[in-house]
């Protein structure tokens, strides 16, 4: 008996940004695919991953907004986390196997002194259990096979690293840091400085650039909405670009710009990215060059303008 061909799901054209509060237990991609199915969206992406054990702010982009998802990758991030002193694990977090246990003798003052040494510009060695690539393969794949790959230290900046409270050997911490920072490596380094080891037991992302948890929608709440209500949760396509300057174009220059041609505007700082509008219509992003020439960098599709 011949099997009937499966019908392809007709996806909708959906444009916008969902600031999701990702729950613990899901990968960023699983959270994205859930939200995409709930919106029945044709095209979707996210702006940087969160580990399955982490919760919090995860901006998801749909349709035309996926063109601008890279803009937040360079943004500073903020986290609230819990660190357990005295226990070292293979992954520097609670998902790994315990490697060693040690007595914790550090006083509150010693904890603060160690944290102070990890503020500012520091070097971090990326963990083996990470998505960084080596010869096209994620480091965690090598780690699971028992292979250790040498990693070069990377410069990161820790703007804030403080203890919000202590319950025995467990610390509640708050971190504000530059891109590329691993908070579990920060926890592991803290334990090493204190001589007892440590690992991350909980992690919640609270900020990315100018965005905080107050703009998020928890996934469970999003699931409970109607399709129209879900659509209403989406921020505009240009929501991720609020940190950029604005360039307005008249109708003549707008037509040239939207056809991929450079236009002349007032001179400014060469090399900066600007979000570009005609009246209130978002056209895309342009790079300002010497002599006030605005070069199209990423444009909205004509059909969505």
Q: How confident is the model at residue 234 (pLDDT cuts 50, 70, 90)?
A: very high
Upper half-sphere CA count for residue 190 (Cβ side, 13 Å): 36
CB proximity list for 276: less than 8 A, separation 6 or greater: 246, 247, 248, 249, 257, 282, 283, 284, 285, 286, 294
Q: How confident is the model at residue 175 (pLDDT cuts 50, 70, 90)?
A: very high
Give the C-alpha separation, 32 to 38, whole Å: 10
Q: Examine domains 77-208 and 244-304 and report if their fold is the same.
A: no
Catalytically annotated residues: 51
Fold of 244-304: 2.30.130
- The model's pLDDT over 76-101, given as tens digits with 9 standing for 90+, comes to 999 999 999 999 999 999 999 999 99
Q: How confident is the model at residue 1 (pLDDT cuts 50, 70, 90)?
A: low
Instruction: Give me the pLDDT at residue 3, please.
Output: 61
Burial of 164 (0-12, 13-18, 19+ CB in 10 A): exposed
CB proximity list for 32: less than 8 A, separation 6 or greater: 44, 45, 46, 60
Mean pLDDT for the chain? 91
Give the C-alpha separation, 142 to 154, whole Å: 20
- The model's pLDDT over 261-276, given as tens digits with 9 standing for 90+, comes to 999 999 889 999 999 9
CATH of 16-75+211-239, one of 3.40.50.720, 3.40.225.10, 3.40.228.10, 3.30.2350.10: 3.30.2350.10
Instruction: Give me the pLDDT at residue 178, please.
Output: 96
Instruction: Give me the pLDDT at residue 267, please.
Output: 87
- How many of the other CB atoms lie within 10 Å of CB of 214? 8
Q: Name the residue ranges covered by the structural domains of the chain.
A: 16-75+211-239, 77-208, 244-304
CATH of 77-208, one of 3.30.2350.10, 3.90.550.10, 3.40.630.30, 3.50.50.60: 3.30.2350.10
Is 9's pLDDT higher than 90? no
- The model's pLDDT over 273-286, given as tens digits with 9 standing for 90+, comes to 999 999 999 999 99
Burial of 119 (0-12, 13-18, 19+ CB in 10 A): middle
User: Hunting for tokens 């991350």 — which residue is that?
Assistant: 200
Instruction: Give me the pLDDT at residue 140, please.
Output: 72
- The model's pLDDT over 199-221, given as tens digits with 9 standing for 90+, comes to 999 999 999 999 999 999 999 99
Instruction: Give me the pLDDT at residue 73, please.
Output: 80
Instruction: Give me the pLDDT at residue 51, please.
Output: 86
Burial of 10 (0-12, 13-18, 19+ CB in 10 A): exposed
Query: Which residue did the predictor score with more confidence, 72 or 166?
Result: 166
Query: Which residue did the predictor score with more confidence, 209 or 149?
Result: 209
Q: For the whole model, what pTM was predicted?
A: 0.89
Average pLDDT over residues 44-57: 90
Q: Are 274 and 266 in contact (CB under 8 A)?
A: no
Distances (CA, A) of 60 to 52, 91, 192, 223, 231: 16, 27, 36, 15, 13
């Amino acid at each position: 008996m011949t099997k009937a061909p499966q019908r392809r799901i007709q996806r909708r054209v959906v444009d916008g940004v969902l600031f999701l509060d990702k729950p613990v237990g899901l990968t960023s991609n699983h959270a994205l695919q859930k939200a995409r199915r709930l919106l029945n969206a044709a095209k979707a992406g996210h702006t940087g991953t969160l580990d399955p054990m982490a919760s919090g702010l995860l901006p998801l982009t749909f349709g035309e907004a996926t063109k601008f998802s890279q803009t937040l990758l360079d943004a500073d991030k903020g986290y609230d986390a819990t660190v357990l002193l005295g226990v070292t694990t293979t992954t520097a977090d609670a998902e790994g196997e315990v490697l060693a246990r040690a007595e914790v003798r550090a006083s509150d003052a010693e904890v603060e002194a160690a944290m102070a040494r990890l503020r500012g510009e520091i070097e971090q060695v990326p963990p083996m259990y990470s998505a960084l690539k080596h010869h096209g393969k994620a480091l965690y794949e090598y780690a699971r096979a028992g292979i250790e790959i040498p990693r070069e230290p990377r410069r990161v900046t820790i703007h804030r690293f403080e203890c919000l409270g202590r319950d025995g050997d467990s610390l509640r911490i708050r971190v504000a840091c530059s891109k590329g920072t691993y908070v579990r490596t920060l926890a592991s380094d803290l334990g090493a400085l204190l001589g007892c080891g440590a690992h991350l037991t909980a992690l919640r992302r609270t900020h990315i650039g100018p965005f905080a948890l107050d703009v998020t929608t928890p996934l469970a709440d999003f699931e409970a909405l109607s399709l129209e209500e879900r659509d209403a949760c989406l921020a505009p396509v240009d929501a991720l670009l609020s940190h950029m300057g604005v360039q307005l174009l008249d109708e003549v220059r707008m037509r040239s710009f939207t056809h991929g041609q450079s236009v002349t505007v007032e001179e400014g700082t060469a090399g900066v990215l600007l979000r570009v509008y005609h009246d209130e219509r978002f056209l895309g992003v342009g790079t300002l060059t010497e002599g006030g020439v605005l070069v199209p960098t990423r444009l909205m599709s004509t059909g969505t303008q």
